[in-house]
Amino acid sequence: MRQLAASLATLLLCLGASAQPFPFGLFDFGRQQEEPKTRKTALAYDVNFDFNFDNREFARTEGLYTSSGTLFQALATPSIGIDIMPDSRLSHRVMAGIDIAKNLGESPALPGQEKLQNLGLFREITLYYRIRYVGDKTIITGYAGILPRRFMQGEYSSAFFSDSLLVRDRNIEGALLTIQRPRAMYEFGCDWMGMKGPSRRERFMLFTTGEAFPVDWFSLGWALTGYHYACADEYGQVADNILAEPFVKFSLGSLAGMQDLTAKLSFLGGLQRRRDISMDFSVPYGGQLRLLARNWNVGIDNTTYVGTSQMPFYNDIDDGGYKFGSQFYYGNPMYRIHASGAWNSIGWYDRAEVFYAPRIAGFLDLKISLVFHLTGDASAPFRYAGWQQKLSLVFDLDRLLHQTKKLTKEKRKIYHFDQTL
C-alpha cells in the first residue's frame, strides 16, 4: 500500500513539473464583484440522441463472466433552461430535461393498457447547474445536480466502467469539475449512487482523471476511483473499492501520417475490503497495454491485461442475501480473469476490437465494431470467452450549436473544447 501511494505521489509530481503552470488567479470569478448594469440572458436548449445495438455471444463461457443477450436501445434526452452571462468570460446555466428510453422489441404494457405503454419510456430526469469560466488558455467548468455522464472528459479503462454500465446508467448524481489547458486536462467528480433506505444501500463514488503532454506525442496521466458501499435499513456490512491507473501514453499518429497510432501502458492497482471480514485490504494488481491503430476511419483497438483478478469479492453474498457482482464492481466483468481458483493468482485478459468509425459531422458519431474476448489462467492457459457485434449512433445538438475552438500548440491539436459561453 505504501509503495502504491508513493508511486501515485511521484506521478502527480511529474505531472505538475511537466504541465504548464496553473493560473490560480482564474478563481477570481468566485469573489464578490461589482454588480454589472446589464446581464445577457438567453434560452438554452439541447437534445442528445443515442442509438445502441450490442449483441453478446458468450455461449462457450456462459455464466463464468457474463451472459449472452442483446442490448438494443434508443434514447433521447431533450433539455431546456437558461443561460446568464455577466461578462464575456463567465456563464451560468441551469437545465432541466428527461431521458426518454426504449428497449427495442420490449412491450411492457399489458393487453388493454396500451395507452400506458409510452409513459414507461420516461426514465430519469436531468437537472443541473453549470458554471463556466473561459480564459485565454484555460477553461474551468463545474456542474452540480443530475447531469449526463457524457460530460465527463477523462479517459477511463473499461476496468473502471463497463460499456453496459454506460448504457444503463447514463447520469451522474453529484458534481463534476473539469479543467482544460492546451497541454493538460484534469477532472474531479462525485457520483452519489444510493441514499440509505429500505433495501437500498448508501453508495457513492469519487473519481478523478488527468493527463498532461510534456511534448505532443507523449503524455502522463492517471485515473482513480474510490467507491463506498455501505448499509441499507434492513442490513449492514460496509465495503470499499479503490482502483488506480497511472499510465504513460505515446500518441504517434501525426508522426506516422495516420489518424491514430497510440500505445498506452498502465499499472492497475486496487485496494478492496469487506469490513465485516477484515479491516485489511486485498490488493489486486496488474499491468495493461492498449494499442490503437486507425486510418481511413478503420481501426484496431487491442487491450491486454496481465495480473490478478480485479474483482476478488464478485461472487460473495452479502448479509442481505445479494451478490456483490455488478453492484460493487462497475468495470468489465472479464477482469475477474479466473473461472476458478484463487483470485490472487496471475492470469490474463485480452479485448480485441475491429471497428469502422466514419466522420460524418462534428455533431454526429457512428461506430460499427466487432469485439473479441479471450482470457487465460493456470486452469486454462487459453480461453475464448465470446464476442460482441456493436453499432452506436450519437447525435449531439449542443456540439452543433456551439462549435469547438481548438487550443493548439505549434498548429498541432492537443486538447479541444467549446469556447462558446
Q: Is residue 39 part of a domain?
A: no
Asked whether the predicted pLDDT for residue 239 surpasses 50, the reply is yes
Residue 64: pLDDT band (50, 70, 90) is confident
Which H helix or E strand runs over 298?
Answer: strand 298-307
Strands 285-295 and 260-274: antiparallel
| Domain annotation covers residue 386 | yes
Q: What is the mean pLDDT of residues 222-232?
A: 93
pLDDT score at 305: 97
Length of the chain: 421
Q: Mean pLDDT across the stretch 255-271?
A: 96
Average pLDDT over residues 203-209: 96
- The total of structural domains in the chain comes to 1
Q: How confident is the model at residue 159 (pLDDT cuts 50, 70, 90)?
A: very high
pLDDT value at position 417?
42
3-class secondary-structure state, position 313: coil
pTM value? 0.84
376 falls within a domain: yes
In a domain, 31, yes or no: no
Q: Are 197 and 33 in contact (CB under 8 A)?
A: no
Query: How many angstroms separate the Cα of 52 from the Cα of each of 74, 117, 206, 235?
Result: 6, 21, 27, 37
pLDDT tens-place string over residues 118-140: 777 888 999 999 999 999 899 99
Return d(Cα 348, Cα 383) in angstroms, integer: 10
Q: Which residues form the domain of 118?
A: 47-417
- Residue 310 is part of a domain; what is its CATH number? 2.40.160
Q: Is residue 16 part of a domain?
A: no
How far apart, in whole angstroms, are the C-alpha atoms of residue 214 and residue 37?
A: 43
- Residue 340 forms part of a structural domain: yes
Q: How confident is the model at residue 402 (pLDDT cuts 50, 70, 90)?
A: confident
By CB atoms closer than 10 A (0-12, 13-18, 19+), residue 223 is buried
In terms of Cα–Cα distance, which of 205, 234, 188, 168 is closest to 329? 205
CA dihedral 335, 339, 340, 345 (to 10 degrees): -30
- Residue predicted with more confidence, 254 or 108: 254
In a domain, 316, yes or no: yes
* Average pLDDT value for residue range 207-236: 93
Asked if residue 40 belongs to a domain, the reply is: no
